[in-house]
Amino acid sequence: MLRLLLLLLLLLPLSLLSGSVSLSPSEVWLALWGEGNETLRFIVWESRLPQTATALLAGMALSAVGLVLQTLFANPLADPSLLGIHSGASLGAAVSFLLFGGSFSLGVLTAGGLCLTVFSAFLGACGVILLLALCSRIVHGTLGLLIVGVMISFAVSALVSLLSFYAAADGLQQFIVWGFGSFANVGLEILPFFAGLILLALLLLLPFVPALDALLLGDDYARNLGIRVRRSRTLLLLLGGFLVAVTTSLCGPISFIGMAVPHLARLSLRSGSHRRLLPATLLWGGNIALLALMLSHLPGERGTFPLAAITPLFGVPAVLWVLLRKRRDI
């Protein structure tokens, strides 16, 4: 755990140093203290600092949700996209870009750009969350709920395909760019709101650690320990869905982090206790997201790589490792 914390403390300043404009450590230090020229202060405060904080928070949120879902569904390949929450956010963004053309007016009220996209994506993700919460009261067992989530994902993806088919070229291009994912959408003015929502939801996960440990051994064992299984599962799904909704609406659909990071935490700890796994998963998630952010800046002055091209570099090896490990266990 200490090594993960030290790695995080190393990656945070390195992230501030990486970008299309080459800055020395002294220049970054001066800019952080409000000194140096205006251009340097703008680069550090308005671009690199928000991106670094957003990557850290988004990585922690998606990793924690991945751990919770893998425990709830007893599925090592479960991730935040499994239940259709990513698809719900994509539908909201598609409505914003493809149906309203990136702007919406209602009387004297007008919304457009990032504000409308975030609001629409958040509503789409929350709609899927509420639908899943209702289904969790009707469908018995995690397998049935998992199938419902997958079917919701297929249905929502079909709606997005229809909107894309009839959309104008400009709106379709904007929607595709949003789908690549980016940590640059959270500016300094939005960052406190984003950080507050993520940290609050993560804190609310902590009381459910004993329930997650009990659920590892099955629903009957958890009930014998006094755990209200259905209530705990519903609340965990709502918290996890909320984390994914906030992250996806602002950063776009970021794949593989939620699936891969919990396995890295288990591999480093060799423990199944969530009292240790959850903090390790949060640290691993922040580290991996910061690495992805820095890798996206590798092209330098020629531009940046989209996150959708970076995160599979970590996720694919983790999935292959899980499959090979299960094959050895057979």
Q: Would you call 39 exposed, middle or buried from its count of C-beta atoms within 10 A (0-12, 13-18, 19+)? A: exposed
pLDDT (0 to 100) of residue 327: 59
Q: Which of 129-143, 248-262, 275-289, 302-316 has the lowest mean pLDDT?
A: 129-143
- 274-295 and 49-72 are packed helices; what angle lies between their axes, rounded to 10 degrees? 140
- 49-72 and 191-205 are packed helices; what angle lies between their axes, rounded to 10 degrees? 30
pLDDT (0 to 100) of residue 114: 61
pLDDT digits (tens, 9 = 90+) for 268-324: 887 778 888 999 999 999 999 999 999 888 765 556 788 888 888 777 787 777 667
The two tokens of residue 234 are 């519903």
Best CA proximity match to 253, nearest among 182, 165, 160, 187: 182
Q: Report percent pLDDT > 70 for the chain.
A: 89
How far is it between the farthest Cα atoms of the chain?
A: 64
pLDDT digits (tens, 9 = 90+) for 58-68: 999 999 999 99
Q: Is residue 158 a part of any domain in this protein?
A: yes
Alpha helices of 206-311 — where are they, by DSSP H? 209-215, 219-224, 229-251, 257-269, 274-295
Q: Is residue 53 a part of any domain in this protein?
A: yes
Q: Taking a C-beta distance cutoff of 8 angstroms, is the pair 71, 92 a contact? A: no
Q: How far apart are CA 178 and CA 182, in angstroms?
A: 8
Neighbour tally for 11: CB within 10 Å: 22
Q: Is residue 24 a part of any domain in this protein?
A: no
Which domain does 39 fall in, by range? 2-6+32-329
Q: Is residue 171 a part of any domain in this protein?
A: yes
Q: Is residue 27 a part of any domain in this protein?
A: no
Neighbour tally for 1: CB within 10 Å: 12
Q: How many structural domains compose the chain?
A: 1
Mean pLDDT of 115-143: 75
Mean pLDDT of 78-104: 72
Q: Which of 78-92, 131-145, 205-219 has the lowest mean pLDDT?
A: 131-145
Q: Taking a C-beta distance cutoff of 8 angstroms, is the pair 255, 308 a contact? A: yes
Mean pLDDT of 182-193: 87
171 HSE (CA, 13 A, CB side): 20
pLDDT of residue 213 exceeding 80, the answer is yes
Q: Is residue 214 a part of any domain in this protein?
A: yes
Residue 107 — very low, low, confident or very high, per pLDDT cuts 50/70/90? very low
Q: Is residue 16 a part of any domain in this protein?
A: no
Q: Is residue 308 a part of any domain in this protein?
A: yes
* Residue 84 belongs to domain with CATH number: 1.10.3470.10
The phi-psi region of residue 254 (left if phi > 0; otherwise alpha if psi is between -120 and 50; otherwise beta) is beta
The two tokens of residue 141 are 């067992």
Q: Give exposure, 78-94, as e/b (b: 16+ Cβ within 10 Å).
A: bbbbbbbbbbbbbbbbb
pLDDT (0 to 100) of residue 104: 46
Residue 200 — very low, low, confident or very high, per pLDDT cuts 50/70/90? very high
Q: How far apart are CA 199 and CA 191, in angstroms?
A: 12
The model carries a pTM of 0.86
pLDDT of residue 120 exceeding 80, the answer is no
pLDDT of residue 149 exceeding 80, the answer is no
